Amino acid sequence: MKKYLPFALLAVLALLPLTGMSTYWLHIFILVIMWSVIGMAWNLLGGYCGQVSFGHAAFFGLGAYTSGILYQKLGVSAWWGLPLSVVVVSAGALVIGFICLRLRGPFFALATLSMGVILRVTAENLNWLTEGDLGIMIRERTWVDKTWYFYIILLIAAGTYLVVKWIVGSKLGYYFVAIREDQDAAESLGINTTLYKTIALCLSAVLTGLAGAFYTSYMGYIDPKVVFALHDISIVAIMVVMVGGVATFGGPIVGAFIMVMLAEVIRTIPKLGAAHHTLFGVLLIVIIIYVPNGIVGDLPKLKKVFGAGGRS
C-alpha cells in the first residue's frame, strides 16, 4: 500500500488539470510542486548528508538567471535554461562547495547564507549581464494556458523524486547518512567525506537550479531580490523540509503543500497578511518543539495525540 502511494499521488496530480480547475488553483499546484522539488533537493544535502544550507537561493537564482540570460542576451528560448542550468549550477556548486564545505555545522550554514547574499548583490550590480535591479522579463510566453507548465514541473518533480529515492538506497545514500551522523567516524571508515559532501551539494544544487530555471519560464519575470531572496527562497526551502519531515521521502512534498497553502491563506488575512514571515517563524518554533521530525517523520506521534484526543 505504502509502496504505491507515490505512484497514486503522481496519477492524481497528472489528472488534476483535466478536472477543469481554475487557473488560480493550477497556479497554486504548480507552486506546490516546484517547492517540492526544492524541498527534496534541500533534503538530500541537509536531511541526509546533514549539511544544513541557508543559501539555496544561490542555486535557485543561478538556475533562474541561466534561463533569463539565455533569453535576454542570446535570444534563445528560456527553456534551454533547463539543460544549461545543470552545467552552470554544478560549476557554481563546486565553487561554493570548495569554499563552504571545509566548514562544519553552524559555520557551514553561515557560509552558505553569505553565498546567497553575495550572489544577490552580484546580480544586482552586474548590469551588463543581468540588467541589475530591472530584472529580466520574458516577453513572449510559451503558453497562455498553465496546463503545460504544470506537466513540465510535474515531470521534473517525478524525476527528482526518483533520483532522491535511488540515491538514498544506494552507496551514496549510506555515505551521506554516515557523514551526517559522525564525520570523523565516516572518514575513518574510508569515506572521502570532502568528496561525498561535494557530491551531495552538487546534486542538491542542480535539482534546485532546475526549479529556478523553470521559475523563469513560468513566471516570465525575475529580478535579484526575488530569485536570490534569503527569506523567500533559502529559508522557505528549509521550512518546507522541517515542516514536512527531515530525511523522509514524502516530507518535502507535504511541507511544500502546507507552506504554499499557508502563505496564500495568511496573505488574505487583512493587516496580519503583511506579517507572514513572522507567522512562519512562529510556526517553525512550534514545529521544532512539538514535531521535531516534521509531519511525516512524527506521523506515529501525531496519530497518537489526535487519536487519543478523539476518544476522550
Partner 1 sequence: MAMLEVRGVSRFFGGLAALTDVSFGLEQGEILAVIGPNGAGKTTLFNVVNGFYPASRGEVLFKGSRISGLQPHKVCRLGIARTFQVVKPLQRMTVHDNVIASAFLKAPKKAEAEALAVDMLKFTNLYDDRDVISKGLPLGKRKRLEIARALATQPEVILLDESFAGLNPTELNESIEIIKKIKAKGITIMIIEHHMKVIMAISDRIVVLNYGEKIAEGTPEEIRNNKQVVEAYLGEAQSA
Least distance (Å) from partner 1 to the CB of residue 206? 23
The x, y and z cell numbers of residue 204, run together, are 542538491
Report how far residue 310's alpha carbon sits from residue 154's, in angstroms, rounded to the nearest whole number: 36
Report how far residue 40's alpha carbon sits from residue 9's, in angstroms, rounded to the nearest whole number: 16
The rounded radius of gyration (Å) of the Cα atoms in the chain is 19
Where on the chain is the footprint of partner 1 (CB under 8 A)? 169-171, 174-175, 177-178, 181-182, 184-193
Report how far residue 128's alpha carbon sits from residue 41's, in angstroms, rounded to the nearest whole number: 31
Dihedral sign (CA 7, 10, 16, 22): positive
Least distance (Å) from partner 1 to the CB of residue 126? 38
Grid cell 506546490 is found at 32
Provide CB contacts within 8 A for 117, sequence distance 6+.
55, 228, 230
Q: Are 221 and 138 in contact (CB under 8 A)?
A: yes
Please state the φ and ψ torsions of residue 223, each to the nearest 5 degrees.
Answer: -140, 165
Q: Is 136 helix (H, G, I), strand (E, B) or coil?
A: strand
Q: Are 268 and 277 in contact (CB under 8 A)?
A: no
